[in-house]
Structure 1
Amino acid sequence: MKHALLIGLLLTVTHGFCQTETEFDKPYISMGVIVSDLDASLDFYTNIIGMKETGGFTVNDAMGKKTGLTGGVAFDVKVLKLYDDPNATEYKLMSFGNQKSKEETHIQERNGMRYITLFYKSLDAVNQRLKDNNITFLSEEPTHIPDGRRFILVQDPDGVFIELIGN
């Protein structure tokens, strides 16, 4: 019994030393994406790509101004994740009714965040949903990449490039 307690204590202390110290509070990134049509984008990301809507919130006009985000315009945010887990990356959609950006066909056409990459166990189901919804493939459909997995490149309703990688 003494040995079990000693081993447990040793493992706990060792685990504490092995954890990397970081200045970050959360182990994930939360990204905000401005879309022209919130309903169309929400449909694309949930029903076609397969993300889950896990929540949302409203930023009122005073908070929009105070934070410097909008200069005084209120907005609603829909929070999506690949799966409902507190440590999963958040993909936040919001709309201000802006027109769609100029159509682009390749990632090198402007600076800034250009694409996201989603990793699937199998691309079969999402590939079928893309086809069923007449989503244009920018890649050959699907492209085999050197590590043996398959790759699909599409765009969301506002032109954000979406890389889909899986078996």
Structure 2
Amino acid sequence: MATVSWADDYELQATVQTPDIQFESDTDIGLWARFHFAIHTADFENTRAFYRRLGFTQGISGFPVTNTHSMARALGMFDVCQYELEKGEVLLFPGADNTTGIDLLQWRNPFNPEPPYGKPNHLGMAYATLMTANVTSDYALLKNQGVQFLSEPYGAPGNRFVFMRDPDGIFLKLEESAIPSLKPNNGQTQIMGMPYIGINVSDLQASVAFYRRFGYEHVRWINEQTLSAEESAAWGFDQPVTYRGADIAITRGDHHRIRLLQWITPFDPEPAYPPPINHKGINRLALTVPDVERAARILQEQGVPFLSEIAPCCSGTDTDTGGIVHAIDPDGVFLELVGDLEPRPVPPQPEHCPPLEIRYPD
């Protein structure tokens, strides 16, 4: 299993993934790609081993386990002088069809260990979808390894899916490609990419309008539908499921998409994870833009709320040439903008805080 150690120019890896972009308008933020989504785990080693079995066999590690007060504020930890991680790694899927990065973190302080969403209809970022060439083969392989599934695979060849849980209880949807493979698995899954992240919303029209501001201009509407008892069971429900939705995608860069679903029945009005961004589960979606200050300014002028101000990221020096900031969607989902940042004076530590101590993993 390959792990790439700390790179001195990590902030460039995190931000300079966009070519010179011709902005299409004064309100175009230049969204280029899905950088990763974050999973917060209670057991880093066990969870990393699980995702390696799925195909995430490479990673970038060596990030500081403590960081600046600015970085703590960026995550909504306003009363924390500096946070502390147990371990962290950006998991990578070599040879995947699209962007598949997972920012796997185990928090030490502060950490919210409450369980992740109990059903895939909870408002917020509810699940990630993994595309496989053979759902039934992967189901049999993973079930034999003790992975928990909500049901057996549902659907016809080329249109089958099944939900499973990772070691922390996070939902993952295995979805079969349109042309399934008949090859034996040879002890490995046939997963090949991550087509979309599933986000549940309370008002579909409002959410589509919100995400258009970020650059999700391609919209494919999913008409309201009531699922059969068998398909509803595949979602984990013993009652008929009704929802409507939309697949939204950016029209440049990696062309990644998000699936928005508005659940009619059963509807769970409980809000998405509140700040700070340290709850066990899927917590944030990171998106690359060429200039994080420009992007944040454009979105703020359109009324998009943000959790905090921009923070230099991620060396622990506050001198990085890249930065992050978290926008908040109408249902509380954290959208992390990652982009280039003009150098700025290093802010002093708050008076009540001890001297800054940046530590790296052993």
Q: Which amino acid aligns with 1:50?
A: G
**Which of 262, 286, 292 is 1:95 aligned to?**
262
Aligned to 1:35: 201
Q: Does 1:107 align with 2:277?
A: yes
Question: Secondary structure of 1:157's partner?
Answer: coil
**Which of 327, 334, 340 is 1:161 aligned to?**
334
Question: Do 1:56 and 1:79's aligned partners in 2 also have CA atoms closer than 8 Å?
Answer: yes
Give the C-alpha shift of residue 126 in structure 1: 2.5
Percent of counterpart pairs with the same letter? 22
Equivalent residue runs for 1:101-140 within 5 Å = 101=271, 104-108=274-278, 110-140=279-309
Distance in 2, Cα, partners of 1:100 & 1:125 = 33
**Which of 245, 264, 267 is 1:77 aligned to?**
245
Q: Which amino acid aligns with 1:53?
A: H
Distance in 1, Cα, partners of 2:217 & 2:270 = 24
Q: Does 1:149 align with 2:322?
A: yes
Which structure is higher in helix share? 1
User: Relative contact order (alpha carbons < 8 A, sep ≥ 6): 1 or 2 greater?
Assistant: 2
Distance in 2, Cα, partners of 1:22 & 1:120 = 33
Aligned to 1:51: 216
Distance in 1, Cα, partners of 2:263 & 2:199 = 11
C-alpha distance 102-30 of structure 1, shift in aligned 2 (>3 A): closer
What CA RMSD, in Å, does the superposition of the two structures yield over aligned residues? 2.9
Q: Which amino acid aligns with 1:155?
A: I
Give the C-alpha shift of residue 151 in structure 1: 1.1
Give the C-alpha shift of residue 42 in structure 1: 1.1
Q: Which amino acid aligns with 1:132?
A: E
Q: Deviations over 1:81-109 (max 9, x none)?
A: 23368x7432100112543516722122x
Question: Do 1:62 and 1:72's aligned partners in 2 also have CA atoms closer than 8 Å?
Answer: yes
C-alpha distance 40-57 of structure 1, shift in aligned 2 (>3 A): closer
Distance in 1, Cα, partners of 2:272 & 2:335 = 17
Alignment TM-score, normalising by the size of structure 2: 0.35
Distance in 2, Cα, partners of 1:74 & 1:162 = 27
Aligned to 2:77: none
Question: Do 1:61 and 1:72's aligned partners in 2 also have CA atoms closer than 8 Å?
Answer: yes
Question: Do 1:50 and 1:126's aligned partners in 2 also have CA atoms closer than 8 Å?
Answer: no
Question: Secondary structure of 1:107's partner?
Answer: coil
Instruction: Give unmatched runs, 5+ long, in structure 1.
Output: 1-18
Distance in 1, Cα, partners of 2:219 & 2:305 = 27
Aligned to 1:4: none
Question: Secondary structure of 2:296's partner?
Answer: helix
Question: Do 1:59 and 1:75's aligned partners in 2 also have CA atoms closer than 8 Å?
Answer: yes
Q: Which amino acid aligns with 1:23?
A: Q
Q: Which amino acid aligns with 2:216?
A: M
Alignment TM-score, normalising by the size of structure 1: 0.69
